[in-house]
Structure 1
């Protein structure tokens, strides 16, 4: 192992959940009489939970406070995550592999803390992670590097000794801007976004079973 710490994004990276937020956006906006547009989708990629709520309030001129928007999303998301979202293929085995090699683990996510805690509890994986840092804990979300730099600081590991797992371009950019090695992992997303993600990351993998084989080399 050439790394002292492994830091995971959450949605689409550790869990198969990218469809969740698309569905929440659609259902949330339908109730308000709006339809999600391409400009909005591009604007919120990698943005933090609070940043996204602020954007939606302004972009769609919503008569709700940012906190009300966030609370509505939390309720919708927790139900979907707990009932319908699974871990990525090989994820649990990979966490066990890292633990056996005394590698520190953490989550650095744009998602909200309550949602993260619900996911970790459902899958019984909280015990693997030394810390969870969200984009709401730092100045700006991805593609800015702050969430990854803060995580490395808490872990007391130099960024150059951290391996990051991401799935979307802005997340990969955030990890690279933090001075970390970034592996991209296969996920369901727009083909143009996937091509860009593959170009940006240090290595692209299909699942965590492949990663275990790579790190054993």
Structure 2
């Protein structure tokens, strides 16, 4: 299969459009430090692409701290993480767009492809605004309306729906293992950005965003 069947591209945000995953990590590390869960690369990787409450529960599980916090405490910690994150987002600008992404979005638009965003982050529209990319993403999946987070395919199924496309007409782009599982589960073609070992289930893997071009995708398909 080449690109002839593809009509739309569905993007994750963190680690694909901008390195907001680094900001999420910083904000979650502040929470992990506060509750006393040791921070390491494995925890940082496992939090990628996971929604807010699931991320908090993961941090508490890793520190064997689940019994110490009520639902009310957890909501307060999740809110604190979000405040930390928004302070970091506030400093973002178009300089924070990952290499090649603006050019890729231009080429998709010029070639008539539909574009949607499928981010677990409720702050995604704010980030797009800071990056000055909102005009490319007329269609954004609202994570508040989802019943399940990644790796469940729901977010990518919704992405195809809001573009009025069948799943097989869509390519999803992710940097996290849970995201690739979600794209594959939705029956879409998956592109992973990052390590081929971690993203081994992706249909196509590019080491970095600057390899993301229509020509390279066509070749890989």
Do these two structures clear the TM 0.5 threshold for a shared fold by scoring above it? yes
Q: How does 1:63-102 map to 2 (within 5 A)?
A: 64-83=72-91, 86-102=96-112
Cα distance in structure 2, aligned partners of 1:165 and 1:208: 13
Between 1:148-157 and 1:29-38, the stretch displaced more is 29-38
Q: Name the counterpart of 1:196.
A: 198
Task: Tell me how far 1:183 sits from its aligned partner.
Answer: 0.8
Q: Name the counterpart of 1:51.
A: 54
Decide which of 11, 32, 39 is 2:14's aligned counterpart.
Answer: 11
Does 2:69 match 1:62? yes
Q: Name the counterpart of 2:171.
A: 163
Distance of aligned partners of 1:43 and 1:202 in 2 relative to their CA distance in 1, 3 Å threshold: closer
Equivalent residues of 1:164, 1:181 under 8 A apart: yes
Task: Tell me how far 1:94 sits from its aligned partner.
Answer: 0.9
Decide which of 109, 132, 154 is 1:124's aligned counterpart.
Answer: 132
Equivalent residues of 2:21, 2:48 under 8 A apart: no
SS at match of 1:31: helix
Task: Tell me how far 1:43 sits from its aligned partner.
Answer: 5.9
In the comparison of the two structures, how many residue pairs are matched? 208
Distance of aligned partners of 1:134 and 1:66 in 2 relative to their CA distance in 1, 3 Å threshold: farther
Equivalent residues of 2:9, 2:115 under 8 A apart: yes
Cα distance in structure 2, aligned partners of 1:43 and 1:184: 16
Q: Name the counterpart of 2:161.
A: 153
Flag structure 1 segments of 5+ consecutive residues without an equivalent.
none
Cα distance in structure 2, aligned partners of 1:210 and 1:117: 22
Q: Name the counterpart of 2:189.
A: 181
Q: CA RMSD in A?
A: 2.6
Flag structure 2 segments of 5+ consecutive residues without an equivalent.
none
Between 1:93-102 and 1:31-40, the stretch displaced more is 31-40
Cα distance in structure 2, aligned partners of 1:35 and 1:181: 36
